Structure 1
Amino acid sequence: MSLNEAPLLFGFEVESSENLTYIPMCVRFNLDRFGLRVSLAQWQLLPWEDRRLLARFPVDEDVEIEPNFDHALFEMLRTHANVEPEWFEPDPTPAWRDVNAVPDGIAHQASLAGMGAPGVEAWARLAPFQRYVLAKLARKPESNHDFAPAMREFGLAAQA
């Protein structure tokens, strides 16, 4: 598997992540898959080209990701920040993988945003990465400013 030609950014991320100041969802996805945590401060210590490279790694669930993501991240952080990412045990069955049930946090975030939660059929039609993104954006009880734009971008709410 090869790297994407450019960082994979959703439309709702462009304003905040286009310059890679913030950690884009594609990097968050791979961090979660490998069980790695980096702080925003650590991310921002990396040179732009390193952040861009990490944002080009694939996000496909049904294929083996290049094992170079975690190695690249370790070397970049050691070189530029003299730190290592924190390890955690990834959830082997995250809620976003279940196409038969919409995670509770999604309904809560939709309610906070004044929109309806997607039904199970709409949830199942989403690509795995889109389900991951919505679940990630909905994980905290307070309103997430990117949730409604993501719902609209993924075709789950009327465009405002």
Structure 2
Amino acid sequence: MGLHETPLMFDFERVSSEDLTYMPMSVRFNLDRFGLRISLAQWQLLPHADRALLARFPVDDDAQIEPNFDHALFEMMRTHANLEPDWFTPEHEPAWRDPATVPEGVLRHCREAGATGPSVERWGQLDPFKRYVLTKLTRKPEASHDFLPAMREFGLID
């Protein structure tokens, strides 16, 4: 699968990520699937064109489909920041991959927001990238300002 024509972003991200000052979820997904970590400050050291290119990479749930994201990131970081991303071992079976179980973090954030959590059936119907996004937005105990807008955009709440 090739690169998208434009940076891949959800509507709820446009305010905070449209100018690519902040990392869009597509970049976070690819960082996580390749086991790479960069800070926001390191992201912002990259030229806008490089950030836009990284945000165009596919978000398929198969690290073998597009293995050039990691190579591109390393080259960009070395060229523009004289740094390399940190490595970590990705989770073998992250919660978002399981279409039959809504992660507790997602349910907890729904309860705290006064919203009904998605049913297992509805959770399973979401594409894996959307499940990743909701799980990523609920990984911390405090509420993310993007969580409810993402739930709305994904058709899980009104």
TM (norm. structure 2) is: 0.97
Looking at structure 2, the residues matched to 54 and 60 of structure 1 have their Cα atoms a distance apart, in angstroms, of 14
Structure 2: distance between partners of 1:18 and 1:62: 26
Higher mean alpha-carbon deviation, 59-68 vs 21-30, is at 59-68
* Preserved CA contact (<8 Å) 2:33 2:63: no
Q: What code does the residue aligned with 2:33 have? A: R
Equivalent residue, structure 2, for 1:79: 79
Answering whether residue 140 of structure 2 is matched by residue 145 of structure 1, we say no
1:64, CA displacement in angstroms? Answer: 3.0
Identity of aligned residues (%): 68
The 1-side partners of 2:89 and 2:31 are apart by: 11
1:4-15 to 2 correspondence within 5 Å?
A: 4-15=4-15
Look up the SS of the partner of 2:70 in the other structure.
helix
Distance change >3 Å, CA 86–CA 63, structure 1 → 2: closer
User: Which residue does 1:37 correspond to in 2?
Assistant: 37
Residue identity opposite 1:104 in structure 2: E
Q: CA deviation at 1:63?
A: 7.3
Q: In angstroms, what is the RMSD of aligned CA positions? A: 1.0
Find out whether 1:96 has 2:96 as its counterpart.
Answer: yes
Quote the residue 1:127 is aligned against: 127
Q: Secondary structure at the match of 2:4?
A: coil
Could you state the TM-score of these two structures normalised by the residue count of structure 1? 0.96
- Secondary structure at 1:134 match in 2: helix
Moved more, 106-115 or 71-80: 106-115
Q: Counterpart amino acid of 1:108?
A: R
Query: What letter corresponds to residue 72 of structure 1 in structure 2?
Result: A
Misfit runs of 4+, over 2 Å? 62-65
Worse overlay, 45-54 or 111-120 = 111-120
- Written as runs of structure 1 = structure 2, the 5 A alignment for 1:54-73 is 54-62=54-62, 64-73=64-73
1:116-136 alpha-carbon deviations (Å, 9 max, x no partner): 111100100101000000000
Q: Which amino acid aligns with 1:45?
A: L
Count of equivalent residues = 158
Distance in structure 2 (CA, Å) of the matches to 1:75 and 1:99: 35
Give the match's secondary structure for 2:99: coil
Q: What letter matches 1:120 in structure 2? A: V
1:106 aligns with 2:103: no
Q: Which residue of 1 aligns with 2:17?
A: 17
1:62 Cα deviation after fit:
4.8
Q: Give the letter for the 1:141 counterpart.
A: P
